Amino acid sequence: MTRRLEEGKLVVASHNPGKVREIAHLLAPFRLEVVSAGDLDLAEPEETGDTFRANAELKALAAAQASGLPALADDSGLCVNALNGAPGVHSARWAGPTRDFDFALEKLRRGMIEAGLSDTSAYFVCGLALAWPDGHIEYFEGRVDGELTWPPRGENGFGYDPIFIPDGHELTFGEMEAQAKHRMSHRADAFRQLVDACFGK
């Protein structure tokens, strides 16, 4: 049976202040006190998994066991069908240590040309894991499908947003207002599932 989270402290297992802020915002309607892994000085485990699920679960579990509190972690990325799902869990790493997304987008474009460029379909995935100190884990996965386009368009968003057009739309995620993206994104999909299962009335 799905374990629910009633109230109290919740650790967001991330050292990225932007991500912690976004998650705290999404959880604002619930009676939870959000603290980050950074605030608690928790070590950041290496993302050694080869699936979104494995990485989200290992981050959530490490934070729950180190803090003695329930902990939430996410792992996300872009999967390109013509590249057999790459960059996938390596999405952040494709941008290198300086997080150079011009470099990552160019690497992707070259890979697509080598693959023949005919299939431009891709999807973003967001895996969300909620772990408790006793080792119990709940996992949810959100997804948004779309097409890749070149050249990149739009200054909003981050990462691969300027080349991704969600199905049924004409603007890239990089051209959309943040609120429009957030209504349809892989992260929103995963959070809806988490809230319904673990915090719902």
**Scanning the structure block, which residue is given the tokens 């080349």?**
163
124 counts as binding ligand IMP under rule CB under 6 A: yes
Report residue 130: phi and psi, to 5°.
Answer: -115, 120
Residue nearest ligand IMP (C-beta atom): 159
Least distance in angstroms from the C-beta of 54 to ligand IMP: 12
151 class by beta-carbon count within 10 Å (0-12 exposed, 13-18 middle, 19+ buried): exposed
Question: Which residue's CB is nearer to ligand IMP, number 36 or number 185?
Answer: 185
Residues forming beta bridges with residue 8, ordered by sequence position:
32
Among 70, 142, 146, 157, binds ligand IMP (CB under 6 A): 157
Report whether 44 contacts 68 (CB < 8 A): no
Among 78, 112, 130, 190, binds ligand IMP (CB under 6 A): 78
162 counts as binding ligand IMP under rule CB under 6 A: no
Task: Provide DSSP, 108-176.
Answer: HHHHHHHTTS---EEEEEEEEEEE-TTS-EEEEEEEEEEEE-SS---SSS-TTGGGEEETT-SS-TTTS
Least distance in angstroms from the C-beta of 18 to ligand IMP: 10
Among 20, 91, 128, 139, binds ligand IMP (CB under 6 A): 91
Residues belonging to the active site: 75
Return residues touching ligand IMP (CB under 6 A).
Answer: 74-78, 91-92, 124, 157-161, 173, 185
